[in-house]
């Protein structure tokens, strides 16, 4: 830039769209790969392809961070890596606590991708007294009773919940009370938290159900296109009408057969 404009356009900094924030890690990953291959610069077109997004979208996203590109050339890889890292807050250390060391919790503790970007598994917490002291991924599991102290002592502000659904809200409350203000929830439960606390949820079951919806739709369309009997759910109707006013579902649990008058 001619005038070396490194200053924010006033209130612009607070206005990074959420959708853009969600894509920054994607760009960062692609840029890191380029960096490792010692590629000095990339065009928006190339980077967009690597990140799997539209190039116009990418340019607009970067424009929110400031103008870090050079027209006619592209973006400097190393510089962008730094800028995005800084914007995402990855230049600092983020101690993370995982609560609920079952199959999933243990897998996450062992997951390499975790530590790779400034996130450090600072503590593993479980409600089972028998697990206390057991090392998982090289870290001794601690008991829930000490949750408060553990969070405080380690300065944890990001908590990961991998408990059974029944315990999630309670654990969440305790984490928040202890000072955690960001939560990544793997339990299939809707967590309620006070203002100022961010919750992001990862739900395998929901993802699969969304895929199933599209899968079913594809199957229906395909059958229709083949001239065969459509399997389209809207055509297939024949829903279960009322059985008995007090009818309950069977022990199976998922195939009801009741409907109001």
Partner DNA sequence: CTATCTTTGTGCACGCGTTCACAAAGACAT
Partner DNA sequence: ATGTCTTTGTGAACGCGTGCACAAAGATAG
The pattern of x and - marking residues 19 through 48 that bind DNA according to CB under 7 A reads xx---------------------xxxx---
Contact between 258 and a copy of itself per CB under 8 A = yes
Q: At what angle do helices 55-65 and 18-36 cross, to 10 degrees?
A: 100
Among 5, 17, 22, 152, binds a copy of itself (CB under 8 A): 22
Chain positions 29 to 88 lying near a copy of itself, rule: CB under 8 A, are: 29-30, 32, 35-36, 38, 41, 49-52, 70, 73, 76, 78-79, 81-83, 85-88
Q: Which stretch binds DNA (CB under 7 A): 72-80, 86-94, 193-201, 247-255?
A: 72-80
103 labelled binding-site residue: yes
Contact between 203 and a copy of itself per CB under 8 A = yes
Residue 67's binding partner among a copy of itself, DNA, none (Cβ under 5 to 8 angstroms by kind) is DNA
Q: How far apart are CA 186 and CA 162, in angstroms?
A: 5
Among 8, 13, 33, 67, binds DNA (CB under 7 A): 67
**75 - beta bridge partners?**
42, 69
30 exposure class (CB count in 10 Å sphere: 0-12, 13-18, 19+): buried
What Rg value do the Cα atoms of the chain yield, rounded?
A: 25
Residue 257's binding partner among a copy of itself, DNA, none (Cβ under 5 to 8 angstroms by kind) is a copy of itself
Cα–Cα distances (Å) from 165 to 100, 169, 189, in that order, read 11, 8, 6
Residue 111's binding partner among DNA, a copy of itself, none (Cβ under 5 to 8 angstroms by kind) is a copy of itself
Q: Helix, strand or coil for residue 220? A: helix
Query: Which among 96, 103, 143, 152 is positioned nearest to 122, based on CA atoms?
Result: 96
The pattern of x and - marking residues 75 through 114 that bind DNA according to CB under 7 A reads x---------------------------------------
Please enumerate in sequence order all residues whose Cβ is within 8 A of that of 156, keeping only pairs 6 or more positions apart, or say none: 95, 96, 97, 122, 123, 150, 178, 179, 180
Q: How far apart are CA 143 and CA 132, in angstroms?
A: 6
User: Which stretches of the chain bind DNA, using CB under 7 A?
Assistant: 1-2, 6, 9-10, 17-20, 42-45, 53-57, 59-60, 62-63, 67-75, 261
């Amino acid at each position: 830039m001619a005038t070396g404009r490194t200053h924010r356009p006033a209130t612009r900094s607070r206005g990074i769209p959420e959708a853009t924030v969600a894509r920054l890690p994607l760009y960062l990953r692609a840029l890191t790969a380029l960096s490792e291959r010692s590629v000095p610069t990339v065009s928006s077109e190339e980077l967009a392809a690597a990140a799997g997004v539209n190039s116009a979208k990418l340019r607009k996203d970067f424009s929110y961070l400031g103008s870090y590109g050079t027209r006619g050339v592209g973006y400097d890889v190393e510089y962008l890596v730094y800028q995005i890292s800084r914007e995402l807050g990855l230049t600092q250390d983020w101690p993370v606590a995982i609560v609920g060391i079952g199959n999933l919790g243990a897998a996450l503790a062992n997951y390499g991708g975790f530590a790779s970007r400034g996130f450090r598994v600072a503590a593993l917490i479980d409600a089972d007294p028998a697990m206390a002291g057991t090392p998982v991924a090289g870290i001794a599991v601690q008991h829930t009773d000490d949750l408060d102290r553990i969070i405080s002592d380690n300065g944890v502000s990001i908590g990961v919940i991998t408990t059974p659904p029944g315990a999630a809200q309670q654990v969440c409350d305790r984490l928040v009370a202890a000072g955690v203000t960001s939560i990544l929830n793997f339990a299939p439960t809707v967590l309620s938290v006070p203002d100022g606390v961010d919750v992001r949820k990862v739900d395998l079951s929901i993802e699969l159900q969304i895929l199933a919806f599209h899968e079913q739709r594809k199957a229906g369309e395909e059958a229709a296109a083949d001239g065969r009997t459509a399997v389209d759910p809207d055509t297939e109707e024949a829903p279960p009408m009322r059985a008995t006013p007090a009818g309950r579902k069977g022990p199976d649990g998922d195939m009801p057969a009741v409907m109001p008058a």
